Amino acid sequence: MLSFTDLVIRMGGRPIIDGASATLPARGCVGLVGRNGAGKSTLMKVMAGVLDVDGGRIDKPRAARLGWLKQDAPQGSTSAFETVLAADTERAALLAEEEAGAAPERLADLHERLIAIDAYTAPARAARILKGLGFDEAMQARPLDSFSGGWRMRVALASLLFTGPDILLLDEPSNHLDLESALWLEDFLISYPGLIVLISHERDLLNRVAGHIAHLEAGKVQLYTGNYDSFERQRAERLAQLEAARTAQAAQRAKLQDYVARNSARASTAKQAQSRAKALARMQPVAEAATDPTMKFDFPSPAPLRPPLVTLDQTQVGYDGNPVLSGLDLRLDPDDRLALVGRNGNGKTTLARLMIGQLPVMAGARNATGKLKVGYFTQYQVEELDRDATPLQHMSRAMKGASPSAVRAQLGRFGFSGPSAEQQIGTMSGGERARLALALVTRDAPHLIVLDEPTNHLDIDARQALVQALAGYDGAVVVVSHDRHLIEATADRLVLVDAGRATPFDGSIDDYEALVLGASAPAAAAPVPKPARIDPKEARRQAAARREAAQPLRKAMLAAEARVTRLIAEREAVEEQMTQAPADITSLMLRRGALDAEIAAAEAQWLAASDAYDAAVAG
C-alpha cells in the first residue's frame, strides 16, 4: 500500500501539488492522469523518493521494493542483455560471491537464496522481456552505445521490469515503443503481481491495465475506481452535479442580493434583509469546472482533387543504394485513411517519406497528381521549433505574403489566439509545441496529411481533439503511431510493413494485436467491418434537414420552457408576499404548494419535449 497525506510541493515558489491525499491499493494498477503541467511527474518523483516535499507525508511499507523508470537512457559498452541481468543487484552480488570461492558453510546459504530469487531462470526471463520490447537475439548482444536513445530507454524499461519491484512507477513507458512492443507491455502489466502507478496518455493502455484512476487537478488528487472510460463517466457525472449546484447557488445568491437591495432601507423588513445578508456572506462559492479553451485542432480542408493522389507500382526505395522496401504496390485516394503498422526499423517512416516524394525511387514507379499538397508531421519538427520565437512569428515566416488576419486565423484553428499566439515557444509545454507544429504543416490546406507519431507530447484530451479534427478533415490521412486508440478511431485500413515489403493487412487492429501477441493468425480472424465514413458536408446537410423537420418539436419545447419560467416567476412573487407577514398567509402557502406541483409537472413536460427534439435532431 502506498499513501500520501496533505502533500505540498512547490516549484519556483508556486505550489504544484497543494494538499493532495490518497491511499492506493496494495496491488493492481493505478493510472495517474491529468492535463500536461498538472504535476504528475513531480508527484511520481516524490513517490520514488527523489524529490522532497514542502509539506505533508508519504508512506509505504518498509520492506516494499520500489522501482522507478528514470528518463535517463543507460549507456556504455555493456550489451543490452548483460545490462538487464545486472539490474538484479542481489543476484549479481550472490553470483560474484559464489564465483570468488565462498566458504563451504556459506555455499549452502548462497544456493538457497539463489533458488529463492529464481536466479538460475533469470537469463531466460531477461531475454523474454527484451524480445517483447523489440530486441532480437542479435540486438540483445549489441553494446548499449550502438543504440539510439529511444532503444536505450527500452533497455532501461526492460531492466526495471526484470527486477520486479513491489511498487512499480512508470512515467510514459510506451513513449519510445512501437505499437507491437506497446501491446506486449500492456499484456505484461495486466498480470503484474505488485502495485503499478502508471502515468500514460494512452486511453487503451489505461482501459486494459488500470483498475483505479488517480486524477490530478488543481493540486489535488481524486481517486476513482475502474478504468479510464469508467473514470470519464464518473467525472462527467460529478462535473454535471457541480455545474447544477453552481447554477442553483448563483440563482439563490441573486435572489438574496435582490431581496437585500430592495428591503434593507425599510424598517419593517430591515431585520429580514440583515439576516439574508449574513446568509449571503456565509455562502461558499461552488467552483466552476476547469476547462481548457486551447484544446483545439481544426485541419483546413483542401480543394478537391481527382483520385488517385499517389500510386506506387512495383516500387523499390532505400538509402545509399541499399533497398529497404521492394515490390511496393499501393494506391492512395483523397478520402483514404491509412495506418502503417510494423515494428520500428522495418521501414514505416521510409514508406511514408516515399509516398510524399521525400525519397527517390530506386526501381519501379511513383506517380502523384501534379497539384498534390502534403502536410508531413514528425517529432523532429517539434524539437526544431525556434524556442526564442513566438507562434505568430513562426507562422508569419511560414506563410510569407499572407495577410496578418490569415496568419492569425491559421493559429486560431489550433488554439493559439490572443496572448497565447505571442508567448515564447521556449516557455510552452511539449503538447503546445506539437499543436504549433501541426498548425505549421497544415497551413496550405494539404490534400494529404502524414502523421508520424503525432501523440507523443499530447495528453488524452488533446489526443481526442486530434481524433475529432481528423474525422472532420476532407483529405487523405496516413498515420504511423503506437497509440492504438488513434489508429482505431482514424484508420479505415492497415498496411503491414515487414520483411522488406508493405502489404495490406486483412483485418482490424484487434486482429493485428492478436497476431502480435501470438494468439491467432490474421486469416483465422473474422474482420469486423468498420462503419462507413460519412462525408462531412453531407453530414452537415443531413443535420440541417433534421433540424428543419424537428421545428414543431422545437416549438413545443420552447412553449414548455416558457411555461416553466412563468410558473417559477409566479412562485417567487408568492414567496415575496409571504415575507411581508400578510394576514392571508395560509392561502399563500397553499398557492405555493400548488405552484410547486405545477412546476414539477411543467418541468417533466419540458424535459420530455427537449429529449424528443434532441433525438430528432441527432437522427
- Identify the CATH number of the domain in which residue 163 sits: 3.40.50.300
Question: Do 183 and 319 belong to one domain?
Answer: no
Consecutive H or E run containing 188: helix 179-190
- For residue 441, is it within any domain? yes
Looking at the 3D structure of the chain, how many domains does it have?
4
Provide the CB-side half-sphere exposure for 421 (13 A, CA).
19
Phi then psi for 193, rounded to 5 degrees?
-80, -15
How sure is the predictor about 568, in pLDDT bands with cuts at 50, 70 and 90?
A: confident
- Angle (CA) 119-122-125 rounded to 5° is 150
Q: CA 113 → CA 93, 116, 120, 124, 190, distances in Å?
A: 11, 5, 11, 18, 28
- pLDDT of 307 above 70: yes
User: Looking at the structure, do residues 246 and 109 belong to the same domain, yes or no?
Assistant: no
pLDDT tens digits for 584-595?
Answer: 777 777 787 788
258, 180: one domain:
no
**Grid coordinates belonging to 479:** 498515420
Q: Is position 293 within any domain?
A: no
> Pairing relation of β-strands 501-505 and 374-377?
unpaired
Q: Which of 484, 513, 531 is the last residue of a domain?
A: 531
Predicted confidence (pLDDT) per residue in 397-419, tens digit? 999 989 999 999 999 989 898 88
Average pLDDT, stretch 197-210? 92
Length of the chain as a residue count: 619
Pair 150, 74: CB distance under 8 Å: no
Domain membership flag for residue 303: no
Q: Note whether residue 290 is domain-resident.
A: no
pTM (predicted TM-score): 0.69
Identify the DSSP state of 129: H
- Domain final residue, candidates 487, 508, 531: 531
Is the pLDDT reported for residue 525 higher than 70?
A: no
Residue 302 lies in a domain: no
Contact 45, 146 (CB under 8 A): no
Given this model, what pLDDT does residue 210 score? 94
pLDDT in tens, 377-399: 998 888 889 999 999 999 999 99
pLDDT value of residue 39: 87
For residue 14, give its domain range. 2-228
Q: Is residue 195 part of a domain?
A: yes
Residues 428 and 494 in one domain: yes
Q: Give yes or no: residues 589 and 456 share one domain.
A: no
Distance of CA 558 to the CA centre of its chain: 38
Q: Are 257 and 167 part of one and the same domain?
A: no
Would you say residue 305 lies in a domain? Answer: no
Please report where in the chains the cell 505549421 appears, as a residue.
440
Domain check: are 140 and 31 in the same one?
yes
Band of pLDDT at residue 350, cut at 50, 70 and 90: very high
Single residue among 474, 502, 531 that ends a domain in this structure: 531
Q: Based on the domain organization, do 333 and 428 belong to the same domain?
A: yes
Per-residue pLDDT tens over the stretch 153-167: 999 999 999 999 999
22 and 93 inside one domain:
yes
Task: Assess whether 82 and 97 both reside in one domain.
Answer: yes
pLDDT at residue 289 tops 90: no
277 and 342 assigned to the same domain: no
Higher pLDDT, 284 or 1: 1
Give the whole-number percent of the chain exceeding pLDDT 70: 88
On whether residue 590 sits in a domain, the answer given is yes
* Model pLDDT, residue 495: 95
Query: What digits encode the pLDDT tens for the residues 445-495?
Result: 999 999 999 988 888 888 888 988 898 898 999 999 999 889 988 898 999
Mean pLDDT of 499-511: 91
Whole-angstrom distance, CA of residue 294 vs CA of residue 236: 20
Share above pLDDT 90 across residues of the chain, in percent, rounded to a whole number:
43
pLDDT recorded at residue 587: 79
Which pLDDT does position 119 carry in this prediction? 83
Question: Which SS3 state, helix, strand or coil, does residue 204 take?
Answer: helix
Query: Do 426 and 554 share a domain, yes or no?
Result: no
